[in-house]
Each structure stands twice: as C-alpha cells, then as structure tokens.
A and B are shown apart, each in its own frame.
Chain A
Amino acid sequence: MRQAFAQALMELAAADPRVMLLTADLGFGVLEKFAAAYPDRFFNVGVAEANMIGLATGLAEGGFIPFAYSIATFAALRPYDQFRNGPVAHQLPVRLVGIGGGFEYGQNGLTHQGLEDLALMRVQPELTTIAPADPAQAGAALKATYALPGPIYYRIGKSDTLHLPELEGRFRLGRVEVVGEVGEVVLLATGAIAVEAMAAASLLRQSGVRAGVAVVSTLRPEPVADLRELLARCTLAATIEAHYVWGGLGSLTAEVIAEGGLGCRLLRCGVVSMPAGASGSEAHLNHRHGLSSAALAKRILAALAP
C-alpha cells in the first residue's frame, strides 16, 4: 500500500504544484522517487514529528497541500496536540499519513504498533479519517480526497502485495463498500486487516454461514446511512480492526446500532490487551490477538452457536 500511495502522490504532484511531501525521517525505499522528482517539494524535517505538523500548518496556510509522513503511532500520537490545534483547528488541507497500523511493525514492539490512531482521529469532528483496505483502494482514496479543503488522516498499510480482488479498488468517501453478498452475518473491516476478514468470511461460508464483508475505509465522515442499512439486514455484525477495540470501528458500529435501535448483535474483534512484552510477526500477533482469519471465523461461529 505504501508504494501505491507513493505512486498516486507522484501523479498528484505532477498535476498539482500545491502537493508537497514532508517526512519525519521515515520512508526508506518508498519516498525516494518523489524526492528525486520534486526536490523543491520534498522535505525530510528530521526526527521531529511535532515540528513537521506545525510546518505543514504554515505551508497549508500559504496555499500548499502538504502530506506529512511517518509510522502510524508516531504520526498520530506524538504530534496530536499540534495536529488538533494546527490543521484541524484551522481547517487547513494537511494530510497526515500514518504507515502500518496494528501489528504491521509487530517485530518492532509496542512503540511501533498503531493501536489507537483511528480512535484519536475519529473523535475530531472536522477531520476526514481514512483507512484503505488494499493498495488499489489506497490509490483511489488518495486521488478522490487529496484536494478536500480540510485536514485528512490516512492510515496506510505497509504491504504492497495485499490485494482484495472483489473490492476492485472502489472508494467512496463516507460510504461502505460491500464485497460479495451479505447474509445473516456481516464482517465490517477497516484498513489492511480487511484481507483477514475476507478469508474469515470465506471460512464461514464453508461452514454454511451466510457471511459477507463490508469494507469501512472511511471512519469520518461517519458512514452512518450505509451502516444502518447493512446492520438492519443481519443478525450478527463482527467489526474487525487492527486496533484496540475501543474508539475505532467497533465503537462506531456500536453507536450506530444503539442510536438506530437496531436488533443485530455486535462482536468487536480487535486488540483488547496491551501487547507489551511479546513482539513478533504481523501474522503471529494477529493470530494471538484473535485477528487471523482462522481466529475470527472461530469466534464468529462460537457467537452463532445456540
């Protein structure tokens, strides 16, 4: 997804001289092409996320569209005050790009695991928050939204090989993309973990459960209408996010169900304990925290058992 992001950004920069790229000294193997093609619009600001967001605010006030790039935890958590009081408060077109949510940097340990970025971003009322599911959707999302007048947070997955063929790269801001057929069970997924949701739905179908996947790549503006429509049709909704279960997609879905007076049950799948002290590969940690396709299918089947 990083390469798709970088490629889309190259295309945007070619067409729009306002597009700039700042990085807090991360992006090895990803940002070099942009830096070479647009040296006047590329700044490695050093390991200084707080300043990066302040700079982006000043640049945006001067008419530019700065993308500020770092690993999701550092992008979202370290300069949160700057982001809130800068681009969000001023409603300026700064694009904060958080790479690799959940356990995508699993071997690097807790400091590098983005488990609360979506919650932090989702609570800002005027902040567009997007977590694409695969590279094609990331490219589409970037092109569809980069010129919005206000600020945006993008959670961009690390993997470049991820591919959800049925999604076909579809992206509509504030909408839910349904993949396949939704039956009694809907798996709502956000970000790169959607691939596990797809595989889990397939396992469920093999077990005779009519389960479909809906990709929720926009957390704000909240896709309330689409969610209500979907949730009204099913008996069980499982939210799947590489994130703590609090504050992100699971919470959004709970709010929609409760406020809509809907009858469907909710199973929030995500991280429920601090993963300190046990690093490992993304696959290992996803499984350990119940986010592998097998673990997801097992949990959903258990929830359906009489």
Chain B
Amino acid sequence: MSNLSPHQLRRLILEQSRRAGVGHIGPALSIAEIIAALYGEVLRLPNPEDPERDRFVLSKGHAALALYAALKLKGIISQEQLDTFCGDGTLLGVHPEHALPGVDFSTGSLGQGLSFGAGAALAARLAGSARRVFVLVSDAECNEGSLWEAVMFAAHHRLGALTAIVDDNGQQALGKTAEVLNLRPLAQKWRTFGWQAAEVDGHDPVALRQALATPHPDAPQVVIARTVCGKGVSFMEGQVKWHYLPMSEGEYLRACAEQEAAP
C-alpha cells in the first residue's frame, strides 16, 4: 500500500499550471483526493503495461494535470516529462493521451469515457479477469446523453467490475450546474438506472477509500463525490472563472502559501 498525498498533488498542479501558463486549475484541484485515493491505494497497478492491471479512465480529460501529477508521484513518468506539460511537441497536453505511459484511454470529448470503461469491464469479464475499471466523470458531463447510454448498458449487463466516480463540484464551464442544466437528484438518477450509488465527501480520503475499496458483485457502482471546484486555494474555491483562467504570479504565490499552511 502506498499513500499518495493530495497536498503533493495540489502543489504539482499549481506549479505546472503556473509554469505552463494554462488554466483548468479548478477542475484539477477538485479531484486531488479522488486521484490520491485511486493511485495511492485502490488501483492495482503492478506496472502500467500489465494487461491485468486495473484500468482508469479520466473521462473529465480537462483535469489531466491531476493525473500527470499522480503518475509523477508514482514514478511512472519523470519530473522531466512532467515539465513538458503543455509545451510544444509534448505528450502531456491539457487532455490525456494514451501514448503516455499510465494513461489507459485518451479523453477530452466529454461523455465517452464511461463507454470506454463499460467496454473495458466487459472485456475483463469475457477474459475471466478480476481486474476493475474506474471512470472519473464530471458532474456536468452527465449532461451528455451518451453517458446515459453507457449507464444503461452497464446496469443491464451487471458490470460489477465497473465503478464510476462523479466529481460533483457543482460547476461547469459557463456557470453552476444548478443553473445551466439541473442534475438533481443525481444519485437517485443513477440508482433508478440500476446502479449502486454512494454519496461521499470527495475531499475525505477515508470515505473515498471505503467507497472505492470493494466492487459490487452484481452491479456497477457509482460514487458521487461531493467536491469543491478549486479546492485548497481559497480564492479559487467555488469560482466559475477558475475553470479556465491561468494564474498570475501573485495568485500563484498566494496559492502556494496556502498549501504550505495546509495541515
């Protein structure tokens, strides 16, 4: 068991966002604990090429920086590789590409990752493998009709190897989800479609670990992780603009200072 610190992930996210001068910081910060739980403990990853490894689909591909940070902390990619984030000719773009070791599926077009994951879970079943498949979707991604196609398929075929996690940060590109396209009651929707649903504090590592630890034998499960967009940086938390904006040097220094002060 290797623990992975959400604080370390946040520091890398801030460093690299600032170095590259890019945004999508809020959506990456909101999943730090989820990524830490997956890559710290839950995912069985003997090595990134092992066909029997668990699969992970970051369906909300715009938060790839959080994934890159985890791959760095796990030693799957180097600091030198991480430092190419958003550079010219890099494998580490804003959205993840499967050519990068540790990235199972390329994503970026929302509403597709859960189908990839359902297919991967079905492949595991057909191969008689116990490997699990985790798909992290954003709450706004549940706007996409194709996601619900995958939800129905996974329930119909009782894909217990499949676990979805919804990063329920209540925000999307242009506003609050409650104002753009209301998703509530979200867990109830998934339950009605035949999924096992749990709702947890998405910044509580213990709750996340517990919710993700065990596959359901007979049904896909979803963990609705209630999160705060921009979590860990006070001036970003809950602010829609930090879906897109890059940080100024002053904002970066303030954000870092908050990380130093964090417990």
Contact = CB atoms under 8 A, between A and B. Distances in A.
A85 B109 contact: yes
Given A51-B115, A64-B126, A90 B106 contact: yes
A85 B97 CA distance: 10
Interface string B86-115: 000000000000100000111111011111
A54 B109 contact: no
Contact of B122 (A46, A55, A85, A90): A55
B156 to A, nearest CB: 8
Contact of A58 (B51, B122, B145): B122
Contacts of A63: 51, 123, 127
B23 interface: no
A168 interface: no
A86 interface: yes
A54 B51 contact: no
A277 B208 CA distance: 56
A50 B119 contact: no
B119 A59 contact: yes
Contact of A82 (B104, B108, B112, B122): B112
Q: How large is the interface on A (under 10, 10 to 19, 20 to 34, 35 or more residues)?
A: 20 to 34
Nearest to A92: B98
A40 B126 contact: yes
B106 A50 contact: no
Contact of B115 (A46, A50, A60, A62): A50
B104 A53 contact: no
A57 B115 contact: yes
Contacts of B117: 58
A54 B114 contact: yes
A48 B149 contact: yes
A63 B124 CA distance: 10
A262 interface: no
B95 to A, nearest CB: 10
Given A62-B123, A64-B123, A85-B109, A54 B150 contact: yes
A45 interface: yes
Greatest chain A CB density within 10 A among B119, B127, B153 is at B119
Interface string A24-68: 000000000000000011010110101101111111111110100
Query: Which residue of A41, A50, A81 has the most chain B CB atoms within 10 A of its CB atom?
Result: A50
A225 interface: no
Contact of A90 (B98, B118, B123, B126): B98
Contacts of A62: 51, 119-120, 122-124, 126-127
B146 interface: yes
Interface string B114-152: 111111111110110000010000000000011001101
A58 B150 CA distance: 12
Given A45-B153, A90-B105, A90-B106, A61 B126 contact: no
Contact of A51 (B55, B108, B124, B146): B146
A90 B96 CA distance: 12
B112 A86 contact: yes
A89 interface: yes
A56 B112 CA distance: 12
B119 A58 contact: yes
A48 B118 CA distance: 13
Contacts of B150: 51, 54-55
Nearest to B133: A58
A98 B104 CA distance: 28
A66 B126 CA distance: 13
Contacts of B146: 48, 50-51, 54, 82
Interface in A58-104: 58-64, 66, 81-82, 85-86, 89-90
24 contacts: A40-B126, A48-B149, A51-B153, A53-B115, A54-B112, A54-B113, A54-B118, A54-B146, A54-B150, A55-B119, A55-B150, A57-B115, A57-B119, A58-B115, A58-B116, A58-B118, A59-B120, A59-B126, A61-B105, A62-B51, A62-B120, A81-B112, A86-B112, A86-B116
Given A59-B122, A62-B51, A64-B123, 18 more contacts: A48-B152, A50-B145, A50-B146, A53-B115, A55-B119, A55-B153, A57-B105, A58-B105, A58-B116, A58-B121, A58-B122, A61-B55, A61-B104, A61-B105, A62-B120, A62-B122, A85-B106, A85-B112
Interface of B: 51, 55, 98, 104-109, 111-124, 126-127, 133, 145-146, 149-150, 152-153, 157
Interface of A: 40-41, 43, 45-46, 48, 50-51, 53-64, 66, 81-82, 85-86, 89-90
